[in-house]
């Protein structure tokens, strides 16, 4: 009679489990009984919602389940809220949270084994593989965005004349360094697409690195120093705040970038204030061909002068050339600006939503072009670009 009553429940549960390998909630006794000790082994965590260790286990346990997503039906990864179902917890002699138990396939649930190893994804997957004969695929975390230096590459990276480099000198045991680590990693991710704005770190307490730390005058941890292009022998001590926005603002001012938190670009990226003014004038003179010709000539003269300036860079020259291209295109086809703006907008939105497969630097390139196109129709952005340039210049003078 019991089997008859539970059969529909079992079918529904199996249908759910066949969709993907996820952590299954078996808090209800009926679900537990039709799932554990049946035709596949099970790893069950008995937890309580108020338990701090259980909260730490939760994301780890989710990754354990995901490790078997390509092998549906081989092993059951489940959770029981034993604080809610105290009778089920009592039946399996749960005396503390979390308690993880392994239940072999086709065996009485009384023949469980309590897991006593480390509560890490790797250790739990290894335990399951050893019991079941499977091979779980643990998702490897992405490599850190922070460039972790050694004595082998320190000089090559930090003294690269083509890169601005911020270096954190830290010690693994330092509490302030540990608190800074996730913030610093987020900052590094924000500037990951900027090859000339490097966020790096050195374990200055490691024996092999102490000569470097001594030469740099490091006396406490963490100590941060900025090594600018053209000023490697006189690095600047970073004394600003240690919030993510503090670091982003500092590096934007020093590197001449326009990064926003998360790695995007502001609407001022790729823009040249002097050409913004000419662009808005050019677009406004839509009914005056002679005026547009004059403005285009002014723009070409400016680009010629700026490209020969000591402050010229490859990025600035490319941006300047794009302004001229836009003017030529508008002259040939007045509707081009609208069509090109919509095309680039669609590409960027597709990439953000996951519908596109554009690399980060390609998205940056498109965003810069979109910003230049906007300069032709939004005169106020020209003023904002000038203000940002003046602010960055002032910040550089103060630091």
Is the predicted pLDDT of residue 12 greater than 60, yes or no?
no
Active site residue 54: yes
User: Residue 4 has which token pair?
Assistant: 């008859």
Catalytic residue, from 51, 123, 157, 315: name it.
51
DSSP code of 354?
T
Helix and strand numbers (H, E) in the chain are 15, 10
Q: Are 16 and 71 in contact (CB under 8 A)?
A: no
At 1, is the pLDDT very low, low, confident or very high (cuts 50, 70, 90)? very low
Q: How far is CA 359 from CA 141, 316, 334, 364, in A?
A: 19, 21, 31, 9
Contact criterion met (CB below 8 Å) for 254 and 247: no
Q: Which of 174, 183, 192, 315 is catalytic?
A: 174
Question: Helix, strand, or coil here: 33?
Answer: helix
Kind of pairing, strands 164-170 and 113-114?
A: unpaired
Buried b (16+ CB within 10 A) or exposed e, 221-241: bbbbbbbbeeeeeebeebeee
Mean pLDDT, rounded, for 360-364:
90
Distance CA 51, CA 54 (A): 5
Q: Given this model, what pLDDT does residue 18 score? A: 39
Average of per-residue pLDDT across 219-227: 97
> What length does the chain have?
399
| Domains of the chain and any CATH numbers | 2-132 (3.40.30.10), 147-255 (3.40.30.10), 273-398 (1.20.1150.12)
Residue 119's closest CA among 72, 51, 184?
A: 51
Is residue 255 annotated as a catalytic residue, yes or no? no
Q: In sequence order, what are the residues at sequence separation of 6 or more whose Cβ sits closer than 8 angstroms to the Cβ of residue 237?
A: 223, 224, 225, 226
Q: Give me the catalytic one of 54, 88, 180, 202.
A: 54
Concerning whether 174 is annotated as a catalytic residue, the answer is yes
Q: What is the pTM of this model?
A: 0.68
User: What's the chain's average pLDDT?
Assistant: 89
Q: What is the pLDDT of residues 28-75, one digit of tens each?
A: 999 999 999 999 999 999 999 999 999 999 999 999 999 998 887 899
Q: Is the pLDDT of residue 7 over 50?
A: no
Instruction: Of 213, 328, 226, give the one whose Cα is nearest residue 279.
Output: 328
Q: Which two tokens stand for residue 56?
A: 């730490």
- The β-bridge partners of 43 are 77, 102
- Both tokens of 14, joined, read 């199996």
């Amino acid at each position: 009679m019991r089997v008859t009553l539970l059969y529909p429940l079992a079918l529904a549960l199996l249908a759910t489990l066949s969709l993907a390998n996820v952590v299954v909630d078996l808090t209800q006794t009926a679900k537990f009984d039709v799932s554990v000790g049946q035709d596949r082994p099970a790893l069950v965590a008995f937890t309580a919602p108020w338990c701090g260790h259980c909260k730490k286990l939760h994301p780890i346990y989710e990754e354990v389940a995901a490790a078997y997503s390509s092998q549906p039906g081989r092993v059951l990864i489940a959770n029981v809220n034993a604080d809610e179902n105290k009778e089920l917890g009592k039946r399996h002699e749960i005396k503390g949270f979390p308690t993880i138990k392994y239940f072999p396939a086709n065996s009485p649930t009384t023949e469980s084994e309590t897991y006593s190893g480390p509560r890490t994804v790797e250790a739990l997957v290894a335990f399951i593989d050893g019991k079941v004969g499977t091979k779980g695929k643990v998702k490897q975390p992405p490599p850190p965005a922070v460039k972790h230096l050694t004595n082998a590459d320190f000089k090559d990276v930090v003294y690269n004349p083509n890169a601005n480099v911020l270096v954190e000198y830290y010690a693994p045991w330092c509490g302030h360094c540990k608190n800074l680590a996730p913030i610093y990693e987020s900052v590094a991710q924000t500037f990951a697409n900027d090859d000339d704005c490097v966020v790096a770190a050195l374990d200055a307490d490691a024996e092999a690195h102490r000569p470097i730390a001594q030469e740099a005058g490091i006396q406490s941890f963490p100590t941060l120093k900025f090594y600018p292009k053209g000023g490697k022998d006189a690095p600047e001590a970073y004394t600003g705040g240690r919030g993510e926005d503090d670091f982003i603002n500092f590096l934007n001012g020093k590197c001449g970038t326009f990064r926003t938190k998360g790695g995007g670009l502001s609407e001022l990226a790729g823009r040249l204030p002097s050409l913004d003014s000419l662009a808005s004038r050019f677009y406004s003179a839509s009914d005056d061909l002679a005026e547009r010709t004059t403005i285009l000539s002014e723009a070409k003269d400016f680009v010629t002068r700026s490209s020969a300036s000591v402050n010229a860079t490859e990025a600035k020259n490319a941006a300047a050339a794009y302004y001229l291209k836009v003017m030529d295109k508008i002259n040939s086809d007045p509707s081009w600006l609208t069509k090109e703006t919509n095309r680039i907008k669609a590409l960027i939105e597709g990439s953000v939503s996951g519908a596109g497969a554009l690399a980060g630097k390609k998205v940056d390139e498109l965003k810069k072009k979109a910003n230049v196109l906007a300069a032709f129709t939004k005169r106020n952005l020209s003023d904002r670009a000038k203000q940002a340039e003046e602010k960055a210049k002032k910040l550089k003078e103060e630091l």
